[in-house]
């Protein structure tokens, strides 16, 4: 069977799409509530930490470039440990559907279709996600390339539209609450980087040369995402002020409503929703893909197609329950989701790297035997 390959550009686009949507839509409001006008510094610190954990993920898998993290677990300590790794990644992507659906549904329902039933958004998102999973990762990666182009256009338009109302005084004083608190607040952006880390744990082996390029491409993806998001952090702080940003669940839409581009593009938030939706659907699609892959590995199935529908039902039920209540959604987003994302998204690569270093001779011996 021919090995599926994705290009370096596809991986960068996938990382950007995986981080960007929630980071500008939800995370900046959380950071504003915690750290005020220094949210752009927290985003910068989180980006640097995300680059580090992506490189650690690459290091853990570098000596076995043909194995994803689940297969690496099988190789290190047997199939039982590989199943544990699959369960952890399964739990991660299952829990991730909460913030992903919060971002997707609240954008569309609150600003575009307020009278539409909640189930409409959940079902449509999962139908698109199921279609992408059915046709495979290459289709998902190509969608990410389209989403990345829209993200670039979105950033250009928001900078142009916000230029007249930009007030740098709203970003002062810098580090008002001190570096330790800003560093602690950056953990909320680390949660977004954890999405990219776990995605890389599944797709890095599909690069044409993961051993040589995986680390560089992954770090480039995180750095590009951070740059795109920091633009919004600075604009939301300087145009809206941290106080106004902190009042909104979807703070980027408030900024979009303030943007004015000439006389004919006054409803910029409608343009934003159109450009934003591809990336939001990509997040849903990959969460479904991650859950399906892990389920298939646990059940020892050769294809993910038989489990796509059951996984849709699981994700849809959890996503509907979380998004139905705004208060529950915010509590889940700020209190519970980080406790799932950070230990798995950052802890699992560290554990796998440690095990690979301890058992490096065994991996080399098995590789030599296979040759």
Three-class SS of residue 246?
A: coil
Question: DSSP letters of 258-306?
Answer: H--BTTTB--HHHHHHHHHHHHHHHHHHHHHHHHHHHHHHHTT-S-SGG
pLDDT of the residue at 361: 64
Q: Taking residues 349-371, what's their average pLDDT?
A: 74
Q: Which of 25-34, 161-170, 323-332, 359-368 has the lowest mean pLDDT?
A: 359-368
As a CATH number, domain 8-356 is: 1.20.1740.10
Specify the pTM.
Answer: 0.93
Tokens of 118: 């909640």
Confidence band for 263, pLDDT divided at 50, 70 and 90: low
Distances (CA, A) of 307 to 12, 68, 262, 285: 28, 19, 49, 14
Higher pLDDT, 77 or 262: 77
Supply the DSSP string of 67-83, one letter for each residue: --HHHHHHHHH-HHHHH
What's the chain's average pLDDT? 90
* Weakest mean pLDDT among 22-26, 38-42, 104-108, 260-264: 260-264
Domain residue extents for the chain: 8-356
pLDDT at 164: 83
């Amino acid at each position: 069977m021919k090995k599926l390959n994705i290009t370096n550009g596809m991986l960068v686009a996938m990382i950007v799409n995986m981080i960007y949507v929630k980071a500008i839509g939800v995370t900046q409001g959380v950071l504003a509530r915690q750290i005020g006008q220094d949210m752009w510094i927290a985003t910068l610190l989180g980006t640097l930490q995300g680059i580090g954990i992506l490189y650690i993920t690459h290091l853990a898998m570098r000596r076995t470039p043909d194995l994803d993290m689940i297969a690496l677990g099988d190789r290190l300590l047997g199939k039982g440990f590989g199943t544990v790794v699959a369960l952890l990644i399964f739990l991660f992507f299952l829990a991730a559907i909460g913030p992903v659906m919060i971002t997707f549904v609240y954008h569309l329902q609150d600003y575009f279709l307020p009278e539409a039933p909640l189930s409409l958004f959940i079902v449509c998102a999962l139908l698109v996600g199921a279609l992408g999973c059915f046709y495979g990762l290459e289709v998902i990666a190509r969608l990410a390339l389209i989403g990345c182009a829209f993200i670039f256009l979105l950033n250009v338009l928001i900078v142009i539209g916000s230029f007249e109302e930009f007030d740098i005084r709203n970003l002062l004083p810098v580090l008002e609450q001190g570096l330790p608190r800003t560093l602690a607040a950056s953990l909320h952006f680390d949660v977004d980087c954890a999405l990219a880390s776990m995605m890389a744990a599944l797709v890095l082996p599909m690069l044409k040369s993961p051993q040589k390029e995986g680390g560089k491409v992954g770090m480039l993806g995180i750095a590009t995402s951070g740059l795109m998001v920091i633009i919004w952090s600075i604009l939301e702080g300087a145009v809206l002020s941290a106080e106004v940003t902190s009042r909104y669940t979807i703070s980027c839409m408030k900024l979009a409503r303030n943007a004015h581009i000439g006389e004919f593009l006054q409803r910029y938030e409608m343009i934003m929703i159109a450009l934003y939706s591809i990336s939001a659907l990509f997040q849903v699609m990959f969460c479904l893909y991650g859950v399906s892959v892990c389920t298939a590995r646990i059940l020892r199935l050769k294809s993910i197609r038989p489990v796509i529908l059951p996984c849709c039902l699981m994700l849809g039920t959890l996503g509907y329950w979380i998004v139905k209540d705004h208060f529950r959604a915010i509590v889940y987003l700020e209190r519970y989701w980080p406790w799932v994302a950070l230990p798995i998204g950052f802890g699992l690569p560290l554990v796998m790297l440690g095990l690979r270093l301890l058992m490096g001779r065994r991996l080399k011996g098995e590789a030599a035997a296979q040759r």
